[in-house]
Amino acid sequence: MKLRANLRAWVLVLAVMHAVVACAGFFAPYDPGEQDREHPYAPPSAIHFRDGYGSLHIRPFVYPLQPVAGFSDRYREERAAPAPIRFFVTGQGYRLLGLLPCRLHLFAADGARVALLGTDGYGRDQFSRLLWGGQISLFAGLMATALALTFGLFVGATAGYWGGWTDEILMRIAELFLALPWLYLLFAIRAFLPLTVSPLGAFFLVTGVIGLVGWARPARLVRGVVLSARERDYVRAARGFGASHAYILRRHILPQTASVLLTQAAILAPQYVLAEVILSFLGLGVPEPAPSWGNLLATIQQYNVLTSYWWMMLPVLVLTPFFLGYLGLASALQGWADPSKMEAVGPGSRW
Amino acid sequence: MTRYLVRRTLHAVLLLAGVSLLTFLFTALVPGNYFDEMKMNPQISPETVAALRAKYGVDQPLAFRYVHWVGGLLHGDLGFSFAYNTPVGPLLRVRAANTLLLTSVAMLLAWGVALPLGIWSAGRENGWPDHLITLATGALLIVPDLVLALGLLLVAVRSGWLPAGGMAAVGAEPTTWAALGRDYALHLLLPVTALVLSCAPMLVRHVRAAMLDVLDSSFLRAARGHGIPPRRLLYGYALRAAANPLLALFGFSIGTLLSGSLIIEVVMSWPGLGPFLLEAILGRDLYVVIGGVLLSTAFLVAGNLVADVLLYWADPRIRAERGNG
Amino acid sequence: MISGADRAMEPLLTVESLVKRYTPRGFGGGRGGVTALDGVSFSIAEGSTLAIAGASGSGKSTLALCLACLERPASGQIRLAGRELTTLTETQLRAVRPQMQLVFQDPSSSLNPRLTAFEIVTEPFAAQSRFSASERAARARALFERAGLSFQSATRTAAEFSGGQRQRLAIARALALEPRVLILDEALSGLDASVQAQVANLLLDLQEASRLTFVFITHDLAMASRMADRIAVLDRGRIAETGPMDEVLRQPAHASTRALIAATPQWKAELRQQADT
């Protein structure tokens, strides 16, 4: 039962993280495309509780930034006009979960821009872009996972159930896909598809390509499960009743693949999110102006950005808690399905 | 032994053939488009395009093109790079060498660190060293190598201690061997650290697991009962017994020498196969991409083969099972 | 037990020269391979029981699978009520299958542990897409009763039943489609001694009530002698000898029969007595 509690804990953690990203509009103070040309590359806003006179305030506040004369990216705080941070404010409209029009934001500063992670070259709030970008990166990763698992399930079940030549051929093809270094294959496939696509097109492209590359390992695992399930006496008995193949698969065999599919989902999802991030980082994924964790980091590749604007690298840290959550979930799932295998899972089979 | 080797090599060759077919099929997905794009590229003269079209038989049936391409492959002709206007082979060779320099150093270091740590950790199971190592590896495992690479880069840039990229100092040419070596070493430090930090944790865990498996076995308990000192037990007996899965792992490590460092190379601007491939993709340099993919796959397959052979050689049980093949 | 001496009628089940081979699959295969059944022939009259006895490896399980048309023999014939089965297509077989059902040795593997008892017993109906939900429930209730199980336990999963109860469940399931022949593949062998007797009696009662024909496959001659009036001894894929139970046991003609007799614990003593006198 400790395993169950473990499992529930990780699911909860992941659910919360995903919920925050899903409700990006609420948690983000600004629209991700909203530019502020007057304040490019502004460092993260300093949150103050103590004002210039030394007195303590309960409500945190920020100072508006004044560009320093002669520099395009240096600022000083204008101490004269503190801007209090208010919570649950009405601001710019957005669509919650893509459906409900809403205007409520968790926080905003009254009279200044509060950029928790600084701004980029166009003055866009990195924090807002991080939240909104998460929707794209996470969704792409999850959809790619679903794609790879569906395809893998189909192939693996077919190979395992029908055996014979079908099995041989399908597994040889799977072996081919597994022999290729994953990331290289991803790049290669991406290379042969049109490079400049709309953000929506790119999203589907990236998802499709990642899913296409990753079906082989789930297929092999599913095949194993189906092979052993097929040999059971209750499957024989069902055949003895004249049950059709479809019935046997649906009733007896496919339910057994559930646990291996779930575990694979937990292992693959973070890898695929990372794949999207890498692709976008290198310019092969979702292009501007649509935000994604990858293209959020892309500017780092410019030397001057790297040296002068360290906060531009902060978005990369968001990957770690998600990885932690998914790997914890995968570990718990593995322990739940097979208590003897309590070994921690790592992204070791990346390539 | 030789029969096994032959069989596995044949299997590897077939695998590579299959991979080449697969890769070629991918390229065939965009046949005409590619060359049309090339025609629009002002850098490439129409004569070159026409010559290439003829050479690669773009208008020929698919099977013919594949056979033609494989034929060229067997002669060492990996195709032609449009961006560099030279054959692909030598280009790849240089870049692959750079990558190999990086990854071999990293691999040796990673194993050099992981083996003792893993063994030590297993030897003191549930002691404080073990817990510490498990915690550390766990923490590192969670961090994707992109994050590691960027983090290290940031440290380098902010501190100014280490060069932030490239393989050698640009401009000033070091004169003595010592200076050259030092220059290389400085440039290697960062990417090697990133690679080691991303590979070693998994290795440590595997070593530890393999050792624990063996330490649990009855023959080792008997040896302990005989009064053999613990260190000799650990390194002499247990390690040898645990060698099998570790040898296989070593083989796989060799396999990833060309493909495992892509992100780190790109982030740290190490002029290896990774960034070259990326550049080719962005520049639509078709044959460089195929060549790069094939080369790294060949390494992966070869690595698996080495792992298989090492396993076979080391484990007399497998040999007996196969009837001394 | 109904006497099988009613030879005026055509036997219900006839097996002729059944041959079944297993060859290893894949590249480099073809060497090796096992002939599990090498020309097996016998016949059973309706309402009677034929025991097929053999040591492990004699081909018993293969015979059971072939009879239930779950494996196709390499050659030979299986005739049920005059109809030849080995040449039927799968679709044609579907109509015939209800007439001959198999009860396996180990109820833990012949019942899907995740399904409830109700689902298990009504599975044949689902597989053949017969009867409405209410009719299935009514039939399930009747089946539970016949098998000596409480219908209250119908909602429990198979894993929650004891070994003997599970085998009853397997029997109930086998009876669902109202078969004429039950193939019992070591159906009692996996049960505790006390439970064995109960289930054996259940089977005999069922046979009498519904005029069922049993093929009782076992390695235990004591059990065989309780359940059947005729016996065929299987030795390495061939029928070594056939005949009425008491005749064969009293005067075993074949070495394998003698070996089986010797392996039966309660008779060992008798044999020793016989040898001494």
Of A88, A114, A140, the position where a domain reaches its end is: A114
For C27, which residue in chain A has the nearest alpha carbon?
A: A168
The mean pLDDT value for A290-312 works out to 84
Token pair 């409520």 in the structure block, residue: A104
Alpha-carbon distance of C96 to C69, in angstroms, equals 10
Q: Using CB atoms, which chains have 3+ pairs under 8 A with B?
A: A
**Whether C250 contacts chain A with CB within 8 A:** no
Specify the pLDDT at position A142.
93
User: A110 and A135: one domain?
Assistant: no
H or E element, residue A49: strand A48-50
**Whether C102 contacts chain A with CB within 8 A:** yes
Counting residues of chain B whose pLDDT is more than 90, the rounded percentage is: 6
Of A114, A138, A153, the position where a domain reaches its end is: A114
* C32 pLDDT above the threshold of 70: no
User: A182 and A325: one domain?
Assistant: yes
Task: Name the residue among A233, A241, A244 with its Cβ closest to that of C124.
Answer: A241
Mean pLDDT is highest, among A95-99, A141-145, A328-332, for A141-145
Task: Name the residue among C70, C109, C177 with its Cβ closest to that of A239.
Answer: C70
**pLDDT tens per residue, range B38-86:** 666 666 677 776 776 666 555 666 677 778 777 877 777 777 777 777 8
For B160-189, b/e burial (b = at least 16 CB within 10 A) is: eebbbbebeeeeeeeeeeeeeeebbeebbb
Specify the pLDDT at position A341.
43
Q: What is the DSSP string of A122-190?
A: T--BHHHHHHHHHHHHHHHHHHHHHHHHHHHHHHHHHHHHH-HHHHHHHHHHHHHHHHS-HHHHHHHHH
User: A52 and A135: one domain?
Assistant: no
Tell me, what's the ipTM?
Answer: 0.84
**pLDDT tens per residue, range A62-84:** 888 888 887 777 888 887 778 88
The mean pLDDT value for C168-194 works out to 90
Is residue A55 a part of any domain in this protein? yes
The mean pLDDT value for C53-77 works out to 88
CB neighbourhood size of B244 (10 A): 17
User: A163 and A49: one domain?
Assistant: no
User: A92 and A162: one domain?
Assistant: no
**Whether A241 contacts chain C with CB within 8 A:** yes
Is residue A186 a part of any domain in this protein? yes
The mean pLDDT value for C21-48 works out to 76
**Whole-prediction pTM value?**
0.82
Q: Using CB atoms, which chains have 3+ pairs under 8 A with C?
A: A
Q: How far is C272 from chain A (nearest CA, A)?
A: 40
* B149 pLDDT above the threshold of 60: yes
Range of the domain at A105: 45-114
B145-159 and B177-215 helices, crossing angle to 10°: 140
Specify the pLDDT at position B325.
38
User: A165 and A280: one domain?
Assistant: yes
Is residue A313 a part of any domain in this protein? yes
Average pLDDT of chain B to the nearest whole number: 78
- What's the distance, Cα to Cα, between the start and end of chain A in Å? 35
**Whether A103 contacts chain C with CB within 8 A:** no
Query: Which residues in chain B are closer than 8 Å to A195, comparing Cβ atoms?
Result: 282, 284
Counting residues of chain B whose pLDDT is more than 70, the rounded percentage is: 82
Q: Mark yes or no for CB contact A241/C93 under 8 Å.
A: no
User: A194 and A303: one domain?
Assistant: yes
Q: Mark yes or no for CB contact B292/A277 under 8 Å.
A: no
**pLDDT tens per residue, range A106-157:** 888 887 888 888 888 888 888 999 999 999 999 999 999 999 999 999 999 9
Is residue A198 a part of any domain in this protein? yes
Average pLDDT of chain C to the nearest whole number: 85
Specify the pLDDT at position C267.
66
Q: Mark yes or no for CB contact C98/A164 under 8 Å.
A: no
User: A182 and A257: one domain?
Assistant: yes
Task: Name the residue among A180, A183, A307 with its Cβ closest to that of B262.
Answer: A183
User: A156 and A303: one domain?
Assistant: yes
Specify the pLDDT at position B7.
84
User: A82 and A149: one domain?
Assistant: no
Specify the pLDDT at position A269.
92
Is residue A125 a part of any domain in this protein? no
* B223 pLDDT above the threshold of 90: no
* C140 pLDDT above the threshold of 70: yes
H or E element, residue A217: helix A216-230
The mean pLDDT value for B281-288 works out to 76
* B31 pLDDT above the threshold of 70: no
Alpha-carbon distance of A161 to A245, in angstroms, equals 9
Is residue A183 a part of any domain in this protein? yes
User: A240 and A291: one domain?
Assistant: yes
For B103-135, b/e burial (b = at least 16 CB within 10 A) is: bebbbebbbebbbebbbbbbbeeeeeebeebbe
Lowest mean pLDDT among B4-18, B162-176, C148-162: B162-176
For A169, which residue in chain C has the nearest alpha carbon?
A: C26
Is residue A240 a part of any domain in this protein? yes
Phi/psi-derived region of residue C144, left when phi > 0, alpha when psi is between -120 and 50, beta in every other case: alpha
Mean pLDDT is highest, among A175-184, B119-128, B175-184, C127-136, for C127-136
The mean pLDDT value for A183-198 works out to 75
The CATH number of whichever domain residue A248 belongs to comes to 1.10.3720.10
| Three state DSSP letters for B132-193 | HHHHHHHHHHHCCHHHHHHHHHHHHHHHCCCCCCCCCCCCCCCCCHHHHHHHHHHHHHHHHH
Task: Name the residue among C65, C110, C176 with its Cβ closest to that of A234.
Answer: C110
Mean pLDDT is highest, among A282-286, C155-159, C215-219, for C215-219
* Selected residues 140-179 of chain A with any CB under 8 Å from a CB in chain C: 164, 168
Is residue A122 a part of any domain in this protein? no
Task: Name the residue among A237, A244, A251 with its Cβ closest to that of C104.
Answer: A237
Strand partners, C232: C52, C242
User: A144 and A253: one domain?
Assistant: yes
Q: How far is C185 from chain A (nearest CA, A)?
A: 12
Query: How many independent structural domains does chain A possess?
Result: 2
Of A114, A144, A167, the position where a domain reaches its end is: A114
Instruction: Outline where C11-130 has alpha helix (H).
Output: 60-67, 90-96, 107-110, 117-128
* B311 pLDDT above the threshold of 90: no
CA-CA-CA-CA dihedral for A204, A254, C117, C130, to nearest 10: 90
